[in-house]
Structures are given as structure tokens and as C-alpha cells.
Amino acid sequence: MDKANEVIDVYQSIKSTLQAENIDVSDYKLIDYGLQFTVSIRDWSGIIRVYQNKKGVLKVDYSQLKSGANVRKIQTLIEGKKISADSKDSNKKDVDQELGFPIIGTDESGKGDYFGPLVSAGVYVDEQTAKKLVACGVKDSKNLSDKGNLRLAQEITKLCKGRFVIIEISPERYNLLYEQFKKEKKNLNTLLAWGHAKAIEEILHKVDCEVAIADQFADERFILGKLQEKGKRLRLIQMHKAEQNIAVAAASILARSRFLEKLSKLSKKYKIDLPKGASQTVVKNAKKFVDIHGKESLRKVAKLHFKTTNEVFRE
């Protein structure tokens, strides 16, 4: 991957991280040796630059931001995620070697996005396939641009043909399920667990596997409790930063790619841009959507339990 693409990938990672915290991130503008973009929180804004230094190392430059609580918040979010163009998952090989192959990896996308579906994906990976996935650049979807996710998803579907599953919950169905779970005093983890378990079960109908790995989003009993007969014999591993495992990384790309495709289709269907994340830009476009299509139609494109909904209807 050339440096120009790496700079864009870092920007996309930062954008995703900040938008998930309701921080507006503008489109990027190319500058010498890199790019710059504006970040905004209500009436405050500043510029961040991502560039290649004289040694060829990519850097995130906060010097154009005025000091204050917002700057500390932004820098903490970015550095806390360890977003860096030259960073490697140094533990990735160790994780893969420790767990071995074959293995099923699962991940989801859309959980932090107001618009669009919730998508879960599962991928079965053996040792030979793992090497091919690594060779073509598969890594955590959050460290890839949208174009990178879409491109690699095509590669994964070819390399893992017949051994992957994508589970999609449309916004309308998501809202129904969430309301139902809330009445039963259950929370979002129940819905996430169902998606992961469903992906695992469907893969087990295609191939035999004894081990599965997923990100640590809740007590493992959430997923184990949803697994049916075939899954009862499975060893389930949940760990933080599970995307270090190549199977989970592949699943994260498939899930994100499907999410992006469906979000694009919804935008075209309703003839309005439906942005990713849950930023003020999302609130503004949601208000436009309601003005054009009505309040009731919002449940067809958005996850209504988000606090964003209160902002949309705030006078």
C-alpha cells in the first residue's frame, strides 16, 4: 500500500472514532505530503493534519488545535484507539498461532451508526486460507477506508466461498426487536449476541469447526445462550481486540462492506445523504429526512433508541 492510501486510511479511522462520539469530521483536503480536515464540537472547531515526515513516517498533527478540553478529548480518543498509519498489530500472529486453525471469527458493523442496518458476519478460516487473507491485506475494518473495505470484501468472498455468512437486520426490524427486548428487560447485548450466534450456527451447517472467536462485548453467556444444537459443542472465545485474529478481521470487513452497501442504497432510495456515525451532521440530515418523508418513516432508516433521535425532534 502506498503512503497516500495509508494517509487516507488513518483519516478514515480517525473519522469513524470521532463520529462515534458525536464529533463532526469534515471531508479531507490534500496538502503537501498528506491531508488535513476540520473537527467540530458545537461552536468549536479546529484542524488536524495527517502527513508523512522526512523519514517517511506518517504522523497525526494536533498543533493547529487550540488548547482546551475539546482538544484533550479528541487526542485521548484518537490515541486511545492507537490510530497510527505505521502501527502494526504486533500480537496478531501470536493470537492466530495460539488459537490455531480452523476457526470461526465473527464481528458486527452498524452498532454505532444511527442510520443503516446492524450487520453481523461470520467467517470460517483454515490455515491455508489465513495465509491468503493476510497476503491480500485483510485487517480490522476500522483501519481501512470505505473503498478498502469494499475491495477486500470481494477478495474475502472469493477466498472463503461457501464458508462465510452475513446476517443483516434492517433498521425497521432492528427497532422492532429493540422495543421487544426492552419490554423483556433485555438490552442491546442480547441483539448483538443473536447476530453472532446466528452467524456461527449457519456456518456450522456448512462446515465442522470446534472453535469460534468474537469481540468481548458482554458475558459470553449472551452468545452461548443463543447458540442452538450445533453450537453447543463449540468452544467460544471472547477477547478484547479480537480483530487481531484474521478470521475476525475478515468478518469485520464483510460486515462493514454490507453495511456500507445498504446505507448507500437507503440514501439513493430516499434521495438524501444518510451519513455514517452519530454526529451533528447526522442530526442535521435526519431532520431533513423527517421534513421530506415524515416522522414515521425515520424508523425505516435509523436506529431510534439512539440519543440522536431526541436531538432530531428537539425544538
The residues spanned by each domain of the chain are 3-80, 92-262, 270-312
Distance CA 227, CA 230 (A): 8
State yes or no: pLDDT of 236 exceeds 50.
yes
How confident is the model over 247-251, as a mean pLDDT? Answer: 97
Quickly state the pLDDT bin for 173 (edges 50, 70, 90).
Answer: very high
User: Which residues does 270 contact at the CB level (< 8 Å), separation at least 6?
Assistant: 289, 292, 293, 297, 301
The alpha carbon of 16 is separated from its chain's Cα centroid by a whole number of angstroms, namely 8
* Dihedral, 215, 8, 306, 218 alpha carbons, nearest 10: 10
pLDDT of residue 24: 92
pLDDT of residue 95: 53
Q: Which residue would you say has higher pLDDT here, 199 or 66? A: 199
Q: Which residue would you say has higher pLDDT here, 233 or 34? A: 34
pLDDT in tens, 187-225: 888 889 889 999 999 999 999 999 999 887 655 677 877
C-alpha cell at 77: 480518543
C-alpha cell at 273: 445523504
How confident is the model over 131-151, as a mean pLDDT? Answer: 93
State yes or no: pLDDT of 55 exceeds 50.
yes
- DSSP, residue by residue, 2-45: -HHHHHHHHHHHHHHHHHTTT-EEPPPEEETTEEEEEEEETTEE
pLDDT of residue 96: 61
How confident is the model over 169-174, as a mean pLDDT? Answer: 97
State yes or no: pLDDT of 91 exceeds 50.
no
For domain 3-80, which CATH number applies: 3.30.9.10, 3.30.310.240, 3.40.50.720, 3.30.1050.10?
3.30.310.240
92-262 is classed CATH 3.30.420.10:
yes
State yes or no: pLDDT of 46 exceeds 50.
yes
pLDDT of residue 100: 83
State yes or no: pLDDT of 1 exceeds 80.
no
Quickly state the pLDDT bin for 304 (edges 50, 70, 90).
Answer: very high
Distance CA 302, CA 174 (A): 9
How confident is the model over 8-19, as a mean pLDDT? Answer: 88
Closest C-alpha to 262, from 274, 248, 279: 274
User: Is 3-80's fold the same as 92-262's?
Assistant: no
State yes or no: pLDDT of 87 exceeds 50.
no
Average pLDDT, the chain: 87
User: Which residues does 314 contact at the CB level (< 8 Å), separation at least 6?
Assistant: none
Percent of the chain with pLDDT over 90: 58
Beta bridge partner(s), residue 35: 30, 50
**∠ at Cα 167 (162, 170), nearest 5°?**
145
Beta strands in 177-287, from DSSP E residues, in sequence order: 211-215, 235-239
Predicted structure pTM score: 0.70
Beta bridge partner(s), residue 41: 44
